[in-house]
Structure 1
């Protein structure tokens, strides 16, 4: 394949616990110390893979608060994560194609307890702030490690919208997500690295806040069936001059306008 870019996935701890097999499609992960658990279902026929249950989903806001308190008490240890895949990928293909690391605001979009998190945005906003701040600290630490590996760029792969619109209001986006995303983008730009945001769904209600006010360099996964029109986007939001790093290879990714690097 003649690829132009490769997007790395999220890092996982090296000592991820072996799950308990429930059936041929279902596994349960449980932490023996914290008793936190989650159930994952994988269905090859439908293509679905994701979390379908958890202790937070079952026990609500109280369990979410205990989870946040644990994160605040816990000493974050970078050595728990395996960075070897990044080193390998950069070494093997980093000179041939653009390697993108991974960093995003930790909205639990793929978690079974997303409805509880969204409810807390209204009922317990301070708890949501604490959770996102703890996760951001970890994200920034991992981001610095990736940037030290001379990656070409960084992308954020968390979905924040569905076919009918964002998972939260524009006001909640501006309060909880935008300032934290901006910190990630700023760190990338300090290292002369572009940041590309991925999200499925219709983001029209938060488009300016998400893509313009955070200084994001690119938008990935423009979804026509959700009402997102790349031609209208390019008309309404003309491309800004690309960042210096993008200019160096002649690659302009603003509004997902993808070209091969100029030879």
Structure 2
């Protein structure tokens, strides 16, 4: 855990799984298609099971000078994966009772977990409920307010530390609704479809921005290109405060190690606010 950069507890999802070539597990089709499925099969672990929190306590105790970022899915993405993407999108219109039941169950569980980890002493909460494709949100802004904001705001009442929301894709049409949930930071401002500098100009006075060193640079670029990209992001986004440099997506195992070292060197060289 000393080399960990975040700590994660998530509720289980109910889906078929498929394994990638190197052993990764991916969710396939969701299994909760009806209320009968929900009543028969949907069971979440006890959020007050103390064994869940033993790693959190250890990590908080031994963090030294590092901030502890706790990561979880709150409800939306878990519900989408458990019901199935296509089925979920149809069910918000054809079977709202099912969507409400699944979302409510996940929110109730997440709210309790978030309350517990905040009591233990984590410094930041990060939620990883993706909301968008590269072409725009999964659902309309109106549906987003109905099926995401109204539920996630319930869990937000249990968060007593700054909350960062992660979502890949183009979230611009729903940013105002995300802010209404009570978030304090947004990650990663997807470099494949969003302009982080324009985003900073529009929202930088209201929200902390995290991002968005391109994973393609880390995987296929050079150390020099990586160093320059990190340097330029810090140069353009740090003024006025409210910027944390990070990758634009999860760092895969095929990145070039020398590029990660160049990333770290650029952060050391340029990545500090000076009073």
Q: Deviations over 1:136-191 (max 9, x none)?
A: 11111111111111110111012111111111111110001112222333332xx3
Q: Which moved more, 1:199-208 or 1:47-56?
A: 47-56
Cα 1:240/1:206, change in 2 over 3 Å? closer
Counterpart of 2:49? 79
Cα 1:199/1:256, change in 2 over 3 Å? farther
Matched, 1:234 2:228: no
Cα 1:141/1:48, change in 2 over 3 Å? same
Cα 1:92/1:261, change in 2 over 3 Å? farther
Counterpart of 2:6? 7
Q: Deviations over 1:29-48 (max 9, x none)?
A: 9xxxxxx762231222xx96
Asked if the contact 1:162–1:201 (Cα under 8 Å) also holds between the matched residues in 2, the reply is: yes
Stretches of structure 2 lacking an aligned partner (at least 5 in a row): 209-239, 247-270
Cα 1:92/1:77, change in 2 over 3 Å? closer
Out of 195, 203, 215, the residue aligned to residue 182 of structure 2 is 215
Structure-2 separation of matches of 1:214 and 1:102: 17
Matched, 1:102 2:71: yes
Cα 1:67/1:9, change in 2 over 3 Å? farther
Out of 172, 187, 196, the residue aligned to residue 164 of structure 2 is 196
The count of residues paired between Structure 1 and Structure 2 equals 217
Q: Deviations over 1:90-139 (max 9, x none)?
A: 1222x311112234233235558221112101111232112111111111
* TM-score, with length taken from structure 1: 0.69
Structure-1 separation of matches of 2:177 and 2:274: 31
Structure-1 separation of matches of 2:51 and 2:16: 20
Counterpart of 1:147? 118
* TM-score, with length taken from structure 2: 0.66
RMSD: 3.4
Matched, 1:50 2:34: no
Asked if the contact 1:181–1:214 (Cα under 8 Å) also holds between the matched residues in 2, the reply is: yes
Structure-2 separation of matches of 1:112 and 1:180: 17
Structure-2 separation of matches of 1:98 and 1:74: 29
Structure-2 separation of matches of 1:166 and 1:255: 24
Matched, 1:178 2:177: no
Cα 1:110/1:87, change in 2 over 3 Å? same
Structure-1 separation of matches of 2:207 and 2:186: 15
